[in-house]
Copies of this chain bind each other. A is one copy, B any other.
């Protein structure tokens, strides 16, 4: 039908190989963690040899970091999209929370990968800044959303948006962790409810002095 399998320029083939390796790495790292994953397993799951892997990445660590970069980029936009267009603070909170819980269920590997990234980064001074940066990015996104809400609904915050973002990020993270350890222990609507309550307590109508 299509698939002129061999009619690819060098560049294209290389990109394809890289992509397939990353994609396999995602599964293997998620399944076994960084130390538990073997490059051999990754390469063969991608349909290549370890030689191919080392031709595309400097080391196991390099591959892992490249994967994390792709992964973080990928999910950053997803939550934003789910929040932007809702009509009220509480609806935005519910929307964001729902999206988050769905993400946990649909792609638990993403969570596992990020935890692995965290564990790796906390221990390695060279990596820690990268982990810190990705937290900062997440907080930045949340801070932006909060600022939007404050503007759109004419509110005042009892707490800097930055700090509220920290708390929300923490909440999302912690709920995900509990849910992955024991899915039945965490009701799906909890996140939305708590988020709404938090906003209720942290905001009030702006006093237009």
Q: Which residues of A contact B (CB under 8 A)?
A: 31-36, 112, 115-116, 118-119, 121-123, 128, 131-132, 135-136, 139, 158-159, 163, 166-167, 169-175, 177-178, 180-182, 185-187, 190, 193-194, 197-198, 200-202
A19 nearest CB across to chain B (Å): 25
Also in contact, A181 and B35, with CB within 8 A (given A158-B197, A172-B174): no
Shortest beta-carbon distance from A189 to chain B in Å: 9
Question: Taking the nearest CB of chain B, how far is it from the CB of A186, in angstroms?
Answer: 6
Q: Which 9 interchain pairs have the tightest Cβ spacing?
A: A170-B174, A35-B35, A132-B182, A201-B201, A173-B174, A197-B201, A174-B174, A170-B175, A167-B194
How far in angstroms is the closest Cβ of chain B from A143? 12
By the criterion CB–CB under 8 Å, are B166 and A190 in contact?
Answer: yes
Q: State the oligomeric state as a number of copies.
A: 2
- Nearest chain-B residue to A195 (Cβ)? B167
With the chains together, A128 CA to B82 CA distance in Å? 32
Q: Do A115 and B119 touch (CB < 8 A)?
A: yes
In the bound complex, residues from chain B placing their C-beta under 8 Å from that of A169 are 174, 178
List of B residues within 8 angstroms of A159 by Cβ: 193-194, 197
Which residues from chain B contact A34 at a C-beta distance below 8 Å? 35
A190 CB to nearest chain B CB (Å): 5
Instruction: Establish whether residues B182 and A135, one from each chain, have CB atoms under 8 Å apart when the complex forms.
Output: yes
Q: Are A36 and B35 in contact (CB under 8 A)?
A: yes
Q: Which residues of B contact A132 (CB under 8 A)?
A: 181-182, 185
A to B CB contacts below 8 Å, 13 in the list: A33-B123, A115-B119, A118-B181, A119-B119, A122-B181, A135-B178, A135-B181, A135-B182, A139-B185, A169-B174, A170-B171, A173-B173, A198-B201
